[in-house]
């Protein structure tokens, strides 16, 4: 009976140690970048080397961001007397994951922030100076410095269904 109890204890210890090791190892894929946080503060990062890595069990948290391009769909309400509305797809890349973590934290917040910047601040900043014929380059000039604050860089913008004020016609335009 005592020998059976010993095996149960040994098995429980082995399982507990195995669980700790399993929870302390994380794998980085080649298309991601990692930040390690400890109680919400950045401890290490960005880590971009693919493979096995270690963290402190139950203390450190792994925050994963893609290192490849991300597509974000935007809907722009338009500027008075310039553009009525358009839909756009913007491809971006997270170039500074630490800045991204500090300012936006999650990729879902990026789309909200981009829509806010475009719909609330773009028209105010570009009042009367927007080039109607190439709205995508105007949007890019606006977004480039704004997005650097969040650790993000624009790869390209593709404008879809552009409608000019007072016009029923649609126009598609791309920008790289």
How far apart CA 161 and CA 92 sit, in angstroms, is 21
Sign of CA dihedral 94, 96, 99, 105: positive
Q: How big is the CA angle at 139 (ends 135 and 98), to the nearest 5 degrees?
A: 160
The token pair at 49 is 């080397």
How far apart CA 45 and CA 60 sit, in angstroms, is 12
pLDDT over threshold 60, residue 12? yes
Contact (CB, 8 A) for 174 and 158: yes
Helix/strand/coil for 39: coil
pLDDT over threshold 90, residue 34? yes
Residue 144 or 122, more confident: 144
Helix, strand, coil abundance in the chain, percent, nearest 5 = 35, 40, 25
For the entire predicted model, the pTM comes to 0.73
pLDDT over threshold 90, residue 45? no
Residue 73's pLDDT is what?
A: 82
Q: At 150, give phi and psi (nearest 5°).
A: -105, 5
Contact (CB, 8 A) for 51 and 28: yes
Domain segments of the chain as ranges:
2-66, 70-175
Q: Which CATH topology does 70-175 take?
A: Tetrahydropterin Synthase; Chain A (3.30.479)
**What band does 41 get if pLDDT is binned at 50, 70 and 90?**
very high
């Amino acid at each position: 009976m005592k020998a059976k109890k010993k095996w149960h204890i040994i098995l429980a210890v082995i399982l507990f140690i195995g669980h700790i090791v399993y929870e302390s190892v994380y794998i980085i894929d080649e298309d991601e970048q990692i930040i390690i946080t400890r109680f919400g503060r950045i401890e290490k990062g960005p880590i971009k080397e693919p493979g096995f890595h270690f963290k402190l069990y139950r203390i450190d948290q792994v925050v994963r961001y893609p290192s490849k391009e991300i597509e974000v769909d935007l809907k722009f309400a338009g500027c008075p007397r310039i553009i009525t509305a358009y839909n756009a797809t913007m491809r971006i890349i997270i170039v500074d994951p630490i800045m991204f973590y500090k300012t936006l934290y999650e990729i879902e917040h990026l789309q909200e922030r981009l829509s806010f910047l475009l719909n609330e601040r773009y028209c105010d900043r570009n009042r009367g100076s927007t080039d109607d014929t190439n709205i995508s380059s105007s949007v890019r000039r606006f977004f480039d410095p704004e997005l650097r604050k969040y650790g993000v860089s624009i790869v390209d913008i593709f404008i879809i269904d552009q409608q000019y004020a007072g016009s029923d016609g649609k126009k598609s335009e791309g920008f790289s």
